[in-house]
Amino acid sequence: MNAAQLRNNRTLLTKLVVIVVAMFGFGYALVPFYEKICQVTGLRDIAQPDPVANTQVDASRNVRLELDSNVRKLPWQFRPLTPVIGVHPGEVTQVMFEIVNTTNRPLTGQAVPSYGPREAGNYFRKLECFCFSKQTLAPGERRQMPVVFVVDPQLPRDMTTITLSYTFFEVEGAGST
């Protein structure tokens, strides 16, 4: 190998190292960047209660609320205590979910809500929810957790059923209960 080839190889190696370092730095900076974007835009702002205006209960309407529960790669049992209820828009309502840690070690999870139809999330106001914080369960612990909410009376009249689904994901470290 001559001197020119050796210089070219070193230059190529240097470029590759710079690219690898830049990619690692970008990946490392992506998490706080993503969190800042979510904070500014209000996306994924699941850790805060929703604002609720002073509303009147619309007793002339009944909305069917279907509750769904899932766990993602987490050895917990998770279920709503009442899978289907009827609510009047504007009425403050509470539903309960039960969760059980089926392992012999403490685990921490975070619930993420989703709505069906998707537009229903614009009219579903959570006042209290276990999804606002991480949940750490001791080995074998069973816990009942409330969700207190109001369905906004501005909900379109043709939207007569809402599905509220929670999926628990395992998170690292101890969380607040």
- Phi, psi at residue 77, to the nearest 5°? -100, 135
* DSSP H or E run through 166: strand 161-170
Residue range 108-127: mean pLDDT, rounded: 93
User: Which pLDDT does position 3 carry in this prediction?
Assistant: 79
Mean pLDDT of the chain: 85
pTM above 0.85, yes or no: no
User: Which pLDDT does position 13 carry in this prediction?
Assistant: 84
User: Which pLDDT does position 2 carry in this prediction?
Assistant: 80
Task: Report how far apart, in Å, the C-alpha atoms of 22 and of each of 6, 94, 138 are.
Answer: 24, 49, 41
Q: How confident is the model at residue 116 (pLDDT cuts 50, 70, 90)?
A: very high
Do 175 and 134 contact (CB within 8 A), yes or no?
A: yes
For residues 143 and 7, the model is more confident at: 143
Exposure string of 112-128, with b = 16+ CB inside 10 Å and e = fewer, is: eeeeeeeebeebbbbbe
pLDDT reading at 36 higher than 80: no
